[in-house]
Amino acid sequence: MKNDIPFSHAGVLLMRINRILFTFVSFLIVLPGIVEANHLSGKVEVEGGKKLKNLIVYLEPAESLQKKADPRVHKVWQKGRRYNPDLIVVSPGDKIQFLNDEDREIDHNIYSLSKFKNFDLGLGERGSVLEVEIDKIGSGNFYCSVHRLMEGRIVSLNTRYFAVLESPGNFILPNIPPGNWVAKVIVFHKRYKSIPINISLSDTTHKNIELKVVKK
């Protein structure tokens, strides 16, 4: 059977491909920052091994390092008379859209009486989308006036670098700009608090830390 490419030509072609691959790999080795951005990984441990829920690990700039990020839109679905997700982490300027995704004709009225963000979006029928804009840092709960058991929480942070953990354990925060940061944990329990850690990241830093949550 006749080959489409003569052996000599195929050999030359293979050598050229190998040379290109070698050059590319060498380029990645010399400039690792292009391949891998900074990231911070670690673990959250709670004193006494208590299984706290919904821990928020985040990085707060130690200096004025961050330029203002573009606003984002977060979506919360209402289905089965529940909010999903029921914990939304945002930044000032972001918007939250509440989508009524019920399987049958069920209305919802989303509201909050918190000092952080007081709002009442009115009655939303099945298929509707209601929206609220968050304009400052803080946290507060929101509810449904039609269904008393529906409840969620909004947390607004001065950072885009965070991770939500359902329980204590491992986390990773990718694509972090170089600079000085303070790593913290938000704990929704009045008897526990976190111990902040100061960290410094360079252009190609990959750090692993351990964050402690202790009793007050």
N- to C-terminal Cα distance for the chain? Answer: 80
Asked if residue 207 and residue 182 are part of one domain, the reply reads yes
Residues 140 and 208 in one domain: no
Query: Is residue 102 scored above 60 in pLDDT?
Result: yes
Indicate the range of 12-21, 55-64, 141-150, 202-211 predicted with least confidence: 12-21
pLDDT in tens, 37-52: 688 999 999 999 999 9
The per-residue pLDDT for 18 is 46
Q: pLDDT digit string (tens) for 77-95?
A: 999 999 999 999 999 999 9
Q: Are residues 195 and 149 in the same domain?
A: no
* Residue 6: DSSP 8-state: -
Note whether 59 and 81 are same-domain residues. Answer: no
Q: What percent of the chain has pLDDT over 70?
A: 80
Residue 8: its pLDDT value, please?
45
Whats the size of the chain, residue-wise?
216
Mean pLDDT (the chain, rounded)? 84
How many domains, the chain? Answer: 3
Q: Are residues 25 and 82 in the same domain?
A: no
What are the strands of the beta sheet with 73-79, ordered from one edge? 82-84, 73-79, 95-100, 129-133
- Residues 78, 152 share a domain: yes
Which pLDDT score is estimated for 39? 86
CATH code of residue 84: 2.60.40.420
pTM of the model: 0.78
- For residue 141, the enclosing domain spans 69-158
Which residues touch 54 (CB under 8 Å, ≥6 apart)? 87, 164, 165, 166, 188
What tokens were used for 17? Answer: 């491909």
Residue 140 and residue 80 in one domain: yes
The residue among 174, 65, 88 whose CA lies nearest residue 138 is 88
Based on the fold, state whether residues 74 and 147 are members of the same structural domain.
yes
Distance between CA atoms of 185 and 167, rounded to whole angstroms? Answer: 12
Q: Where are the beta strands (DSSP E) in the chain?
A: 39-46, 55-61, 73-79, 82-84, 87-90, 95-100, 108-113, 118-124, 129-133, 138-144, 151-156, 162-165, 170-174, 179-186, 192-195, 197-201, 206-215
Q: How many CA atoms lie within 13 A of 169 on its CB side?
A: 8
Q: How far apart, in whole angstroms, are the C-alpha atoms of residue 167 and residue 56?
A: 10
pLDDT tens profile 153-175: 999 999 999 999 999 999 999 98
Instruction: Indicate whether 117 and 56 sit together in one domain.
Output: no
Q: CB neighbours (10 Å) of residue 172?
A: 12
CA distance 169 to 29: 32
52 and 76 share one domain = no
pLDDT reported for residue 168 = 95
**101: region left, alpha or beta (phi > 0 left; psi from -120 to 50 alpha):** alpha
